[in-house]
Amino acid sequence: MGLSKDIYREFEDVVGPENISDDPIIMESYHRPTFEAVILPKSTEEVQAIVKLCNKQKISFKGISTGWIGWVPGSLSFSGVIYLDLRRMNRIIEINEKNMYAVTEPYVTSAQLQAEVMKKGLNCNVIGAGANTSALPLVGGGGDGHFGQSVSFGDRNLLAVEWVTPEGEVVRLGSLGSLDEWFCGDGPGPSLRGIIRGQVQPNGGMGVFTKAAQKLYHWPGPSTMPVEGVSPDYTLSEMPPNFLVRYFSFPSVEEQIEAERKIGESEIAFEAMGFHVGLLATNISSCNEETVKNYRRLRALVQGPGFLIIIAGDSPEDFEYKKRVLEQIITETKGKSLEPIEDPRISGGLLWRCIRITGSIRETFRAGGLFHNVGLGFGQRDIHLRYMAQVAKKKEALIDKGLIVDDSPYPFGWSLEHGHIGHTELFCQLVPAPESLEAVSELARESDMMAFNGNIAVPPRILMDIIGPRVCNYHLWIEKVKKAFDPNGLAESRGLL
């Protein structure tokens, strides 16, 4: 359809002619669907003016920072949509060492923020999609990451937020609205954090988030890590003091669950990441051929399912205590250390990839390329693992038939908050044949219904009008919230409700 010259000029007056384009070539460089225009605001005031213009002209809009997670632009229609590229909003506004929080704009990546806070002896939550994502996905989604064991996930870390509503009003949530400070996400009065964000739909709420604060945590490591080598073949020149990386496999899922439970109760782990050996091989390899070779080697050495654990001591004494506790737990649960991971060069590379969370790109673009997630999401970790063990048998059957790549039948995921909650997924790597996608899609549908009918989880692929009656009719409440805050239906309305 395209914007009329008069409407285009109105948007141009907000951001300047150099920060808006409706050139098809420019828009194609973002995503394949065609937008009405791409616009790059610099400030909250410009975002607000754009949103108000969209409401005036009845034009849909969507704000995107790095675009790596949560909302998949390529899956939706973009006729009549203004794309707000927030890359010019890239400032770290504040790092408050005393009160342990940081305030950022949307295009600050987790890598940038983590590098700065580590210089001050602090660390931040980084989501599992990697440090290349925005530091603010915790505003718009789950925000769970590798070291959620010790720093939790987005729901717990989000503090005060500055939000441009779908109608163009600026709302400052929590302590920001009452005291002009960032330390708290709630009050006085009812909290809106549950309105602006969501674990499933609306998966990020509505409107545009322009600033937000998040909690920071103590970092026991050095201010800069001694990285050597060239990506993707890099490691640490030496292991930082009081750090240990190990991978343990177990005879069965039950022993794995017991080990995770005891580790959580003792609170000794900085990270407990439930890689299967396929993902582990990807993380220690520098190319696809090496990944296949390492997978075959590691698969022959493990007993069964397992996890990678990182111990980080605050002092030599604390480190020795945590190691002794770990040794006792592993002995009691019949765990077996995967010997190649004990190599300092391999464990050093794993340590930095897991802290920086750079392995996610390797895992996504590993040998074979395309994969399909059959996974679950959040819930009680032991229940998830037992359920996934049943699904894994179905995956193994597809491997045996040659319908998917053999990258280990086991699921992966991680423990959060020392075992209080967990995240579990099962990836299936497709082979280049139509029947591969068909088989995996059927497995996804079957596993979703198993989870749904067993009251194990709320699978995102099942229609909301089917799920809703099981969970307090939340789909009806979401529709009411949407209509109240976005009466014109312009913000994130496509593909969400």
**pLDDT(370) > 70:** no
Which of 136-145, 213-222, 464-473 is predicted with the least confidence, judged by mean pLDDT?
136-145
pLDDT in tens, 178-187: 899 999 988 7
pLDDT for 153: 80
Alpha-carbon distance 51 to 337, whole Å? 55
Residue 100's Cβ-count burial label (10 Å; 0-12, 13-18, 19+) is middle
Give domain limits for the chain. 5-85, 92-218, 229-453
Is residue 33 over pLDDT 70? no
Q: For 15-29, 206-220, 243-257, 468-482, which range has the lowest pLDDT when averaged over its residues? A: 468-482
Going by pLDDT thresholds of 50, 70 and 90, the confidence category of residue 299 is very high
DSSP 3-state assignment of 92? strand
Scan for tokens 């998917």, then name that residue: 404
In the block, tokens 């001591």 appear at: 313
pLDDT of residue 497: 28
Instruction: Provide the pLDDT confidence category of residue 373 given band limits of 50, 70 and 90.
Output: low
Best mean pLDDT range from 149-153, 412-416, 453-457: 149-153
Distance CA 358, CA 235 (A): 12
**For residue 192, what pLDDT is reported?**
84
Helix (H) / strand (E) element for 38: namely strand 37-39
pLDDT at 199: 58
Query: Is the pLDDT at 155 greater than 80, yes or no?
Result: no
pLDDT at 204: 54
Query: Alpha-carbon distance 29 to 35, whole Å?
Result: 11
Specify the DSSP class assigned to residue 53: H
| Whole-number Cα distances in Å, 86 to 139, 154, 193, 211, 415 | 15, 20, 21, 11, 32
As a CATH number, domain 92-218 is: 3.30.465.10
Mean pLDDT value across residues 170-183: 92
Q: Is the confidence at residue 83, as pLDDT, over 80?
A: yes
In degrees, rounded to 5, the angle at the alpha carbon of residue 439 between the alpha carbons of residues 437 and 442 is 105
Q: Is the pLDDT assigned to residue 258 strictly greater than 80?
A: yes
- Find out whether 93 and 103 touch, Cβ atoms under 8 Å: yes
Q: With 90 as the cut, is the pLDDT of residue 368 above it?
A: no
Convert 174-207 into a string of H (helix), E (strand) and C (coil): CHHHHHCCCCCCCCCCCCCHHHHCCCCCCCCCCC
229-453 has the same fold as 5-85: no
Both tokens assigned to 220: 């026991």
Angle at 424 between CA 64 and CA 143, to 5 degrees: 30
Q: Side chain identity at 331, as an amino acid letter?
A: T
Q: Which superfamily does 229-453 belong to?
A: FAD-linked oxidases, C-terminal domain (3.40.462.10)
For the chain, the distance separating the N- and C-terminal CA atoms, rounded to the nearest angstrom, is 24
Per-residue pLDDT, 247: 97
Q: What integer is the mean pLDDT of 238-243? A: 95
Q: Does domain 5-85 have CATH number 3.30.43.10?
A: yes
pLDDT for residue 381 is more than 50: yes
pLDDT band at 341 (very low <50, low <70, confident <90, very high): very high
430-447 tens-digit pLDDT: 888 899 989 998 998 888
pLDDT at residue 203 in the model: 57
Question: What is the spatial distance between Cα 491 and Cα 166, in angstroms, rounded to a whole number?
Answer: 6
Q: Name every residue whose Cβ is closer than 8 Å to that of residue 348 and which is 6 or more positions away in sequence.
A: 235, 236, 237, 238, 239, 245
User: What is the Cα–Cα distance from 110 to 81, expressed in whole angstroms?
Assistant: 28
- Let me know: does 225 contact 352? Beta carbons within 8 Å: yes
Q: Give me the pLDDT at residue 35, please.
A: 81
Give percent of the chain above pLDDT 90.
51
Asked whether the beta carbons of 99 and 108 are under 8 A apart, the reply is: no
Q: What is the pLDDT of residue 172?
A: 94
Check residue 75 and give its pLDDT. Answer: 42
State the Cα–Cα distance between residues 28 and 24, nearest whole angstrom.
6
How would you list the strands of the sheet with 81-85, edge to edge?
Answer: 20-21, 37-39, 81-85, 60-64
pLDDT in the model for residue 214: 94
pLDDT band at 409; cut points 50, 70, 90: confident
- The mean pLDDT of the chain is 86
Whole-number pLDDT of residue 430 = 87
User: Taking residues 471-488, what's their average pLDDT?
Assistant: 86
Residue 54 has which token pair?
């969209």
Name the pTM for this structure: 0.90
Which range is least confidently modeled, 232-241, 255-264, 383-392? 383-392
For the segment 103-108, the average pLDDT, to the nearest whole number, is 96
pLDDT bracket for residue 339 (50, 70, 90):
very high
pLDDT digits (tens, 9 = 90+) for 454-472: 888 777 666 777 888 888 8
Distances in Å between the alpha carbon of 418 and those of 387, 446, 461?
A: 20, 31, 28
